[in-house]
Structure 1
């Protein structure tokens, strides 16, 4: 009886050893390199469980600035890149790191600053004029300084305003951090900062900060998604990655994105091309 029991245990152990790799092989997952705004706004926490329930695919997110997210894709260390810097995304495709870029959704950038508004920019509709006033007043300005999509947009606005900014200027501070930590710094310093609306709406530590400039068409903030080219990187999970992209731009995916709200306010607006 004892020998029979040991034989049974051995058989069960062998069966487990054989089945375990097969079970692991059946687990579907992908890696997305994306922006801090899609994570810190809470969007991924809202949409990814819905996608997994429908597809069985687990999505692991590496949330960094857009520049870093694209670099991860260039190394083949992600299956999908989901970011918001259209010129950089188009260059990514042109360089062969992806074969197609899909537009997914948009929101907008806003200029945040202290309610006391020492640069007197509040209520304005022109972001470049506001930047000129901030520079003239040498009021504290917090820049992410992290090569993110938000940082790239900020630099475009400074250039459009005809102002060269540098960390050597005492009023211009670079944090090298994501949107949430940069907003924390702006709150602590009572400074101005360019933010995406989604992260601002989910941001709790506002202190004396408020929205001062919004509505300029130049503040439009488009998000795009790309499958990393499997011809360049055979390790890319083509089927699973494309399944995620197809869902994002489908009616169901677009409806889910549109339904994400904080305090009754919609954070992202789907605009995938039909």
Structure 2
């Protein structure tokens, strides 16, 4: 059975100094004379005192003034054409992510792989070199990128539906219910010809949840004044959309 770990107070009582002096002496603080440091070390050795490296690291962190502390980084990986805080919709994602990260004691940082020209191996080497263990994938239009990383080395999660393989824990909006709710608001505002236009690639990525919400709304109201939804491929075709609206 292991013996009880001696406390600083017990060492102080035998060495006839204060616990604060013991703490400083065991850290070789220059405020304490060499003779006192030696006496404290001898008493600590006699009692079988062993320094707790994890506790020492924590105490060093707590002693640093708040304005000088470096908090562990939580990475947000995206492949947008611009940074998330520069785009209205992704900006709301960034605000939610960064606010929650800071509340939990992390420093949020975005890694825009497209803007910075980062390959999967290069991103992984940067994260490992900086000791970043938490990674959130968001707004990934090229989910194949992730397959070039060894995710077993990180704690990972995703925002949105783009990343399907590997399947990670994710946070995403309820697109089905949101679409129904949007149509209900439009209906209550007096609109009767409510249409849906969406990129086909996006609808596939979200497993037809926008379309499902749209059709569910029309099924509930059982009215005929609605157009067939358009899921377009390729570039936005304004002429086709205007013709559909007419």
Name the TM-score class by shorter chain. Answer: under 0.3
Compare the two structures and name the one with the higher strand fraction: 1
TM-score normalised according to structure 1 size: 0.25
- Which structure has the larger Rg over C-alpha atoms? 2
